[in-house]
Amino acid sequence: MIRVLVVDDQALIRQAVTDILAGQPGIDVVGDATNGRMAVALAAQLRPDVIVMDIRMPELDGIGATERICGDPALAESRVLILTTFEEDEYLVAALRAGASGFVGKGAEPEEIVQAVRAVHAGDALLSPIATRALIDRFLKSAPDADPTTEPALQHLTDREREVLLLVARGRSNQEIADDLVISPHTAKTHVNRIMTKLHAHDRAQLVIIAYESGLLTPGN
């Protein structure tokens, strides 16, 4: 059962998302919150698997709440799915940097929202990789160039792990990584998990951010 916490300051959206998810097999909406501060408190209390999080909210916005939740070791298994209008791209990148696992539009069809929750919970694929890469391209291309050979975070990776990280950042699934490197899917998954551990990454979305900010992958590459 996927336990979900819905967070949005608009009652209609909160209720709509709750209604969409509550009727799905294998999904249980365990609570809802009207602001980021309440979301952090409820996440600690309820330990949800997925938190559907709005960005703009009073008291504490979705980015701040995401950072606190993803930074709490006790909530290491919780995943944040950003609910957005896609009109504030820079906030989405900030949310990914804070630890969010993906995002879904408020105008998405009900089945898309359900699929997004399941995908984020599964943790084995970056949600909407094309859209996410476009956002990262747009807002990280002006960042200072980094040298991946001297980036401290990457010094702990083997050459093979750097190859795998690059493929993850390009949106490859474990099966595609296995095909590209002529290894088994199990070995590919093992490499990805080991990289996450070494880089203290919450999930694959975080690996994409690290690959860009370290200079291992450059926008448009």
Tell me the per-residue pLDDT of 56-71, one tens digit each, with 9 for 90 and over: 999 999 999 999 999 9
Given a cut of 90, whether residue 201 has pLDDT beyond it is no
Structure-block tokens of residue 5? 């916490």
Q: What is the mean pLDDT of residues 74-98?
A: 82
Given a cut of 70, whether residue 96 has pLDDT beyond it is yes
Tell me the per-residue pLDDT of 133-186, one tens digit each, with 9 for 90 and over: 566 666 555 555 555 554 667 888 999 999 999 998 887 888 889 999 999 999
- At residue 89 the predicted structure's pLDDT band, cuts being 50, 70 and 90, is low
Query: What residues contact residue 149 under an 8 Å CB cut-off, 6+ apart?
Result: none
**DSSP letters of 34-68?**
SSHHHHHHHHHHH--SEEEEESS-SSS-HHHHHHH
Given a cut of 60, whether residue 124 has pLDDT beyond it is no
Q: What is the mean pLDDT of residues 42-68?
A: 95
Handedness of CA 40, 41, 47, 50 (dihedral sign): negative
Alpha helices in the chain, H assignment, sequence order: 11-22, 36-46, 62-70, 89-98, 110-122, 129-140, 159-169, 174-181, 185-199, 204-213
- The percent of residues in the chain predicted with pLDDT above 70, rounded, is 83
- The percent of residues in the chain predicted with pLDDT above 90, rounded, is 53
Specify the pLDDT at position 144: 53
Specify the pLDDT at position 31: 97
